[in-house]
């Protein structure tokens, strides 16, 4: 505040500086300084002290024309403009009224009075309802997880594995069908149980149904040849001319033409088909005097060994079930 006494104009008696001001006075002269740090909202422009306008801190905002009561405020550059409710909805991409339902862009709401924690959501025609674990299992046609309970299914178990801790599989009168291999464990039949292999005729040449193992065979072995185990524990072709190349224990289901020892599958007991056979159904079968030969004619030469190995089922299929007894012709 500048105090001028009642004397002549220009005579300054004293200076009192208010908040944010400092200054001194001498006779006829007064100097004031403005501290903008304690006077936010002020600024100098063209050597003039004025109110700071804009949207920075301590500025005084300036409203654009057209601001009405109940408007929402929106910063537009350095001014504040008014926006109606509909304009705000447009600005933010909103909608005035929500559309509930399960169609595209609808808002989804709970459509059940019994929703509970840890339950699952399922769509209804109008929204979502709550489903318990047991209800979900029923909805999808599934049974309880493995454990002390049973797995109940009307479909296929087509992936994963059944481990050794699974327990018993009781499928009642239904069949367990596989095109693969049962590779471990054992099959136990009850008092009236049956191990049904299939019909008596494998579907194609050089195929078999029955008990099959894998052993090392010498080279030169052909499919369908009868085999014995030599002194080295390897498979070779039978020959009824000598005891050393007998008895037959199986039929080769794989050939070995590799030039060295190789693993092959052999049929120990079961049904084998070879389209080159021409047996009379019901005929007894023996090991012949040609290498690996299975024949309907028993060897009859002196020193030959007779071993019955099965019976013909059809002209081209045999039931191979070798007796290990050898009878020598004197």
Residues 240 and 294: their CA atoms lie apart, in Å, by: 10
Contacts of 225 (CB under 8 A, 6+ apart): 237, 238, 251, 252, 291, 292, 293
Q: What count of other Cβ atoms lies within 10 Å of the Cβ of residue 294?
A: 25
Are 147 and 121 a contacting pair, CB within 8 Å? no
Both structure tokens of 43? 């600024």
- pLDDT band (50, 70, 90) for residue 49: low
pTM, entire model: 0.51
The pLDDT value recorded for residue 12 is: 56
Closest CA to 39 of 61, 18, 20: 20
Higher pLDDT, 173 or 129: 129
Which helix (H) or strand (E) element contains residue 211?
strand 208-217
Averaged pLDDT, 155-182: 69
Bridge pairing between strands 327-328 and 250-252: unpaired
The pLDDT value recorded for residue 2 is: 46
Are 28 and 12 a contacting pair, CB within 8 Å? yes
Task: Give the residue extent of every domain in the chain.
Answer: 2-39, 108-145, 208-328
Averaged pLDDT, 78-83: 86
Average pLDDT value for the chain: 82
Averaged pLDDT, 153-173: 67
Tens digit of pLDDT for each residue in 20-39? 556 666 655 666 665 655 55
- What is the three-class DSSP state of 325? coil
The DSSP secondary-structure symbol of 226 reads E
Are 283 and 312 a contacting pair, CB within 8 Å? yes
- Residue 304 exposed, middle or buried by CB count within 10 Å (0-12, 13-18, 19+): buried
- CA 179 to each of CA 200, 290, 309: distance values in angstroms, whole numbers, following the listed order: 18, 35, 28
């Amino acid at each position: 505040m500048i105090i001028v006494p009642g004397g002549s104009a220009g005579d300054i008696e004293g200076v009192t500086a208010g908040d944010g001001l400092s200054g001194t006075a001498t006779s006829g002269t007064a100097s004031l300084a403005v501290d903008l740090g304690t006077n936010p909202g002020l600024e100098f422009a063209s050597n003039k002290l004025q109110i700071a306008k804009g949207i920075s801190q301590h500025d005084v905002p300036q409203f654009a024309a057209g601001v009405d009561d109940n408007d929402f405020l929106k910063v537009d550059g350095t001014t504040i403009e008014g926006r109606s409710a509909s304009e705000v909805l447009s600005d933010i991409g909103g909608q005035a009224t929500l559309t509930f339902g399960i169609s595209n862009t609808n808002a989804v709401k709970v459509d059940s009075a019994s929703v509970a924690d840890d339950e699952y959501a399922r769509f209804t025609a109008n929204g979502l309802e709550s489903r318990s674990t047991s209800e979900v299992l029923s909805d999808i046609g599934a049974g309880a997880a493995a454990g002390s309970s049973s797995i109940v299914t009307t479909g296929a178990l087509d992936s994963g594995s059944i481990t050794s801790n699974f327990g018993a599989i009781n499928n009642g009168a239904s069949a367990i069908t596989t095109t693969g291999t049962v590779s471990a464990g054992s099959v136990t039949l009850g008092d009236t149980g049956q191990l049904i292999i299939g019909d008596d005729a494998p579907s194609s040449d050089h195929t078999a149904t029955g008990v099959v193992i894998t052993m090392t065979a010498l080279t030169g072995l052909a499919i369908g040849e009868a085999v014995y185990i030599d002194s080295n524990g390897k498979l070779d072709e039978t020959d009824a001319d000598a005891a050393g190349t007998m008895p037959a224990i199986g039929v080769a289901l794989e050939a070995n033409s590799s030039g060295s020892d190789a693993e092959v599958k052999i049929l120990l007991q079961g049904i084998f088909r070879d389209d080159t056979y021409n047996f009379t159904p019901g005929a007894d079968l023996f090991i012949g005097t040609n290498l690996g030969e299975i024949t309907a004619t028993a060897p009859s030469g002196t020193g030959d060994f007779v071993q019955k190995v099965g019976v013909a089922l059809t002209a081209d299929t045999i039931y191979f079930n070798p007796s290990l007894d050898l009878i020598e012709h004197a």
